[in-house]
Chain A
Amino acid sequence: MGATQTRSEHKYQDLVEKTGFSLEQITNLHKRFQHLSGNEETISKESLESIPALANNPIKKQIIGAFFDKRNQHQDEAGSFEEIGFEQFLMVMSHFRPPSLKTTEEEKEAMRKEKLRFLFNMHDTDNDGTITLAEYRTVVEELLSKSGAIGQEAAKAIADAAMLEVASTNVPHMAPDEFYEGITFEHFEQILKGLEMESRMHIRFLDMDTTTMRCGKSKS
Chain B
Amino acid sequence: MPSRTGSRLPERGLLLLMVLVFLHCPLLSVGASGSPGVTNQEHEHSHEPGNETKKLFPVLSLDYEHIHVPFEISLWVLLASLMKLGFHLIPRLSGIVPESCLLITVGLLVGGLIKLAGEKVPPVLDSQLFFLCLLPPIILDAGYFLPIRPFMENLGTILMFAVVGTLWNAFFIGGLLYAVCQLQPHLLGLGLLPCLLFGSIISAVDPVAVLAVFEEIHINELLHILVFGESLLNDAVTVVLYHLFEEFSSADTVTVLDGFLGVISFFIVALGGILVGAVYGILAAFTSRFTSHTRVIEPLFVFVYSYMAYLSAEMFHLSGIMALIACGAVMRPYVEANISHKSHTTIKYFLKMWSSVSETLIFIFLGVATVDGKHHWDWTFVPVTVILCLVARVIGVVGLTYIINKFRIVKLTTKDQFIVAYGGLRGAIAFSLGFLLKEEHFPLRNMFLTAIITVIFFTVFVQGMTIKPLVDLLAVKKKQEAKRSINEEIHTQFLDHLLTGIEDICGHYGHHHWKDKLNRFNKKYVKKCLIAGERSKEPQLIAFYHKMEMKQAIELVESGGGVKLPSAMPSTVSMQNIQPKKPRPPKVAERALPQLPKGREEEIRKILRSNLQRTRQRLRSYNRHTLVADPFEDGFSDLLIKKQRMIELEKKIKEMNNYLTVPAAPPDSPTMCRARLASDPQAYSTKQASDSVPTIQVDLASPQSPDSVTLLDEFRQAGKQKPEEEEDGLMMKPPSRTGASDKPGEADTGRDQQKLMRCLSDPGPSADEDEDEPFLP
Contacts and interface: CB of A to CB of B under 8 A. Distances in A.
Interface of A: 29, 32, 35-36, 48, 51, 53-54, 56-60, 63, 67, 93, 96, 98-101, 119, 122, 132-134, 139-140, 143-144, 146-148, 150-151, 153-154, 157-158, 160-169, 171-180, 191-192, 194-195, 199-206, 209
Interface in B482-504: 482, 485-488, 490-495, 497-504
A128 to B, nearest CB: 14
Contacts of B520: 56
A32 B507 contact: yes
Which secondary structure characterizes the binding site on chain A? helix
Nearest to B579: A133
Nearest to A198: B410
B506 interface: yes
B19 interface: no
B268 interface: no
A157 B637 CA distance: 11
Contacts of A179: 577-578, 580-581
A51 B505 contact: yes
A146 B520 CA distance: 11
B573 A180 contact: yes
A161 B592 contact: no
B293 interface: no
Interface in B566-582: 569-581
B411 A100 contact: yes
A100 B20 CA distance: 58
B571 A195 contact: no
B605 interface: no
A144 B542 contact: yes
B644 interface: yes
B504 A54 contact: yes
B71 to A, nearest CB: 51
23 contacts: A54-B501, A57-B501, A58-B497, A63-B498, A93-B506, A98-B409, A99-B410, A101-B411, A134-B580, A139-B490, A139-B494, A147-B542, A154-B637, A160-B575, A169-B571, A172-B571, A173-B571, A176-B572, A176-B592, A176-B594, A179-B578, A199-B409, A203-B510
Nearest to A133: B578
B674 interface: no
Contacts of B577: 167, 174, 176, 178-180
B512 interface: yes
Contacts of B480: 194
Nearest to B508: A206
Contacts of B493: 143
Contacts of A199: 409-410
Nearest to A29: B506
B511 A165 contact: no
Given A96-B502, A160-B575, A204 B510 contact: yes
Interface stretch (B85-93, B385-393, B533-541): B533-541
B539 A151 contact: yes
B463 to A, nearest CB: 27
Nearest to A147: B539
Contacts of A160: 575, 578, 644
Given A160-B575, A164-B573, A204 B511 contact: yes
Given A32-B506, A153-B637, A166 B575 contact: no
Nearest to A134: B580
A90 B350 CA distance: 54
Contact of A162 (B490, B498, B570): B490
Contacts of B492: 195
B317 interface: no
Which secondary structure characterizes the binding site on chain B? helix
A144 B549 CA distance: 18
A168 B506 contact: no
B573 A171 contact: yes
Nearest to B572: A173
Given A174-B573, A202-B409, A194 B502 contact: no
A191 B485 contact: yes
B372 interface: no
A100 B411 CA distance: 7
A33 B490 CA distance: 31
A195 B491 CA distance: 9
Contacts, number: 190
Contact of B500 (A29, A57, A162, A194): A57
Given A133-B578, A161-B486, A150 B499 contact: no
Q: Which 8 A-B pairs have the closest CB atoms?
A: A172-B571, A53-B504, A168-B571, A63-B501, A147-B539, A168-B573, A98-B409, A101-B411
B506 A175 contact: no
Contacts of A100: 411
A53 B571 contact: no
B508 A163 contact: no
The size class of the interface chain B forms with chain A is 35 or more
A133 B497 CA distance: 22
B513 interface: yes
A150 B636 CA distance: 12
B640 interface: yes
A57 to B, nearest CB: 5
B641 interface: yes
A35 B507 contact: yes
Interface string B397-434: 00000000110011101000000000000000000000
A172 B572 contact: yes
A60 B14 CA distance: 64
A147 to B, nearest CB: 4
B655 interface: yes
B590 to A, nearest CB: 12
B640 A157 contact: yes
A203 B592 contact: no
Contacts of A93: 502, 506
B595 to A, nearest CB: 13
B492 to A, nearest CB: 7
Nearest to B482: A194
A172 B502 CA distance: 37
Contacts of B504: 51, 53-54, 57
Contacts of B511: 203-204
B542 A154 contact: yes
A173 to B, nearest CB: 5
Nearest to A173: B572
Interface in B550-600: 569-581, 592, 594
Given A57-B504, A59-B497, A206-B508, A162 B486 contact: yes
Nearest to B493: A143
Given A51-B505, A165-B487, A171-B573, 18 more contacts: A32-B506, A48-B505, A54-B505, A59-B501, A67-B505, A96-B502, A134-B580, A151-B542, A154-B640, A158-B542, A167-B571, A168-B573, A194-B485, A195-B491, A195-B495, A199-B410, A201-B495, A201-B498
B641 A157 contact: yes
A30 B434 CA distance: 60
Interface in B506-545: 506-508, 510-513, 516, 520, 534, 537-539, 541-542, 545
A63 B502 contact: yes
Contact of B490 (A98, A122, A140): A140
B491 A119 contact: yes
Which of B493, B573, B581, B594 is most buried by chain A, counting CB atoms within 10 A of its CB? B573
A139 B498 CA distance: 12
A151 B490 CA distance: 13
Contacts of B549: 161
Given A140-B490, A157-B640, A174-B573, A150 B537 contact: yes
B502 A166 contact: no
A4 to B, nearest CB: 24
A54 B516 CA distance: 11
B487 A143 contact: no
Nearest to B576: A176
B494 A59 contact: yes
A80 to B, nearest CB: 17
A174 B545 CA distance: 25
